[in-house]
Structure 1
Amino acid sequence: MNTERFDSRSLEATEEFLSRAYTPMRIGGRPSDTQTSIVRTAAEGLTVDRLTFGYTMSYTANPLGQVCLITVHSGSMVDTTDGRHEVYGAGETFLVAPPDRPYTGALHSARYTISMFDPAVLDQVAAAGAHSAPGPVRLTGQRAHDVGANRRLGSTVAFLRDQVLTGPTPPDPLVVATATQHLAAVALAALPSTAYREECHRIDSHDAHTDTLRRARIFIEENAHRAIGLADIAAAAFVTPRAVQYAFSRHSDTSPLGYLRQVRVTRAHHELKSADPGTATVTQVAARWGFPHVGRFAAAYRQLYGTTPAATLRTRG
């Protein structure tokens, strides 16, 4: 994980930093206080920045090549791309622009968070949907569908910023990858996109047999320590994501990702049983197996083993 801090009262230095950190851009305006503060945290394909501008600034920027979500905490931002005048205020989380499009706008004494990740993650997440549409996924709208969707998207950004990427030690790569996929999934649910067909299609169950289930389980068990998702499981089983979902539904009592979660809890259980309680912690073990929220890990652990992970760690051997 890399953390970089930028503080300046120079517009020229700010423009140079923004162009290097995001995309080539030009900034302007009539600032009364030119103080700029930016804290950038980047890890495993996810970047989360905290920015504070104490003045009004306009900008003209090239395409980012990334999915870029902005959460406004105070002040306001205005999107003027293609003659628009969309104002975003405190509490709103929105897509600043499609990854392949230039954009223009202005911010007014704004404090906000930027979250960026590779657009390919949207494709990976969308492929897991039961009614996913073919082709690359595009976010087609900048604002969330409704207040609830906006709140969920903002909460997810805050969780990544304050929990996943904040701590005394660098986050585990598996945790970061899982959290990034979760952010992409929430973005697809919250914002207009091309991810899903409007009409439900019949699931082709031709490949949903026990051999598919067996291949999927073997792949999960051999790769549970990696950042894998439904698309990876389906590819390893030589079927579509819908077929592997249907195979688990027909021949098992859980889903592919549910089985992955069970395997990871089991691996964490074995690690806790052999770990030294003087040096190991439940939080460390949970993070190593893809559980950034220790409370949720504990709930899944109790459901499977009837006790707490902390009790297992204390009574090892």
Structure 2
Amino acid sequence: MDSLLNTKSRIFDRADPHAVSEYVNQHVGAHCIQLPRTGHPQASLSHCTFGKLDLCKLSYGGSVHVTSPALETIYHLQLLQRGHCLWRGRGQEHYFTPGELLLINPDDPVDLTYSDDCEKLIIKLPASFLEKACAENQWRAPGEGIRFTASRYDLKQLEGIEALLGLICQEAEAEHCVPQLQEQYSRIIASKLLCTLANNIYREPLSESCPSFGRITDYIDEHLKKDISIEQLAQVANMSARSLYMLFDRKIGTTPKSYIRQRKLEQIHGRLSDPSAKVRNITEIAMDYGFLHLGRFSESYKTTFGELPSDTLRKHH
């Protein structure tokens, strides 16, 4: 994890800690710093946005005291990479060492003292984004909001988190990473944290009378080249059209029609990206999937994948 966010995302290198702190206040989370009485610490910071996340690699270069009454609308996941960091909170204190995670809720006071060589990766998640992930998974959060019930975790004991964080940081600095992919990764990390770290959300068991969402999406995938109507889907799901819309909104935050269009675009993208697929021309494949207005199809495709269908075809064939 040491090599994350080093060059492409570098904003400050051996800089004035106050300048770095001001930048952090604007982009990562409100806080105050108190510098040691002696010495001249030099701070460094790398930062980039990735979907709904902010990724920040930070070192203050000195024994800096960081405080904040609360982060208010955001969560911080802080992974210590070098040195140590003294945390005080909830009537406890702990020296975080490399490989340990600190989880800060929006209403948690922040009281941290960095060692001279302390360096950490900070992932900022908006509270609204975690709430949306909770709703999409059909979980229920208390009225006071989602709250993680522990502050300290050992990264090695959290299955899959280390690999996921590494992948997200790698993608964040990749040459080409389309917004749709960033959004998907953001949603995965939100759901992964809600599933892995102790919290106050309630996971209701699905009612037996609830139709299988997988059965509906399987039907869509099997009939992608046909014009699938809402009435057909409602019949497959054995529910009203209104209930169908509510199910899609609750499960994936979109409408059935938008989901079908997205799956069609993904299928076309898959074929255009496959060197072994026999694609005679883009017009033919677009019309196969029911896209009769080619200009609108190309526009939707570019919005989704960051390039025109002709660019995808040229790169892979």
Mapping of residues 154-165 of structure 1, within 5 Å: 154-163=162-171, 165=172
Which residue identity does 2:120 align to in structure 1? Y
Which residue identity does 1:203 align to in structure 2? S
Residue 213 (str. 1) matches residue 205 (str. 2): no
CA distance 1:56–1:67, change in 2 (3 Å): same
- Is the contact between residue 145 and residue 192 of structure 1 (CA under 8 Å) also seen in structure 2? no
Alignment partner of 1:100 out of 90, 100, 107: 107
Give how far 1:42 is off: 1.5
Structure 1: gaps of 5 or more residues: 223-233, 246-257, 276-284, 291-308
Match of 1:167 in 2: 174
SS of aligned partner of 1:85: strand
Which residue identity does 2:150 align to in structure 1? G
- Is the contact between residue 8 and residue 14 of structure 1 (CA under 8 Å) also seen in structure 2? no
Q: How far does the alpha carbon of each residue in 1:35-91 deviate from its partner, in whole angstroms, 9 at most, with x for none?
A: 110011124422111112322211112422212111111111221135421222111
Which residue identity does 1:56 align to in structure 2? S
Q: How far does the alpha carbon of each residue in 1:190-232 deviate from its partner, in whole angstroms, 9 at most, with x for none?
A: 21112234xx646151x5289x938x949xx79xxxxxxxxxx
SS of aligned partner of 1:73: strand
For residues 102 and 88 of structure 2, what CA distance do their matches in structure 1 show?
Answer: 14
Name the TM-score, length of structure 2 as normaliser: 0.64
Match of 1:191 in 2: 197
Match of 1:268 in 2: 269
Mapping of residues 142-291 of structure 1, within 5 Å: 142-144=151-153, 147-149=156-158, 152-163=160-171, 165-169=172-176, 171-197=177-203, 201=205, 203-205=207-209, 208=211, 213=216, 217=220, 237-240=244-247, 263=264, 265-272=266-273, 273=279, 274=281
Q: How far does the alpha carbon of each residue in 1:215-268 deviate from its partner, in whole angstroms, 9 at most, with x for none?
A: x949xx79xxxxxxxxxxx998234479979xxxxxxxxxxxx99996564121
For residues 175 and 116 of structure 1, what CA distance do their matches in structure 2 show?
Answer: 18
Which residue identity does 1:114 align to in structure 2? I
Give how far 1:288 is off: 5.1
The Cα RMSD (Å) is 4.2
Say which one has the larger Rg: 2
Overall identity of the aligned pairs, in %: 14
Q: How far does the alpha carbon of each residue in 1:285-312 deviate from its partner, in whole angstroms, 9 at most, with x for none?
A: 9x9559xxxxxxxxxxxxxxxxxx9999
SS of aligned partner of 1:94: strand
Which residue identity does 1:180 align to in structure 2? S
CA distance 1:38–1:242, change in 2 (3 Å): closer
SS of aligned partner of 1:121: helix
Match of 2:140 in 1: 133
For residues 87 and 67 of structure 2, what CA distance do their matches in structure 1 show?
Answer: 10
Match of 1:300 in 2: none
For residues 235 and 62 of structure 1, what CA distance do their matches in structure 2 show?
Answer: 45
SS of aligned partner of 1:51: strand
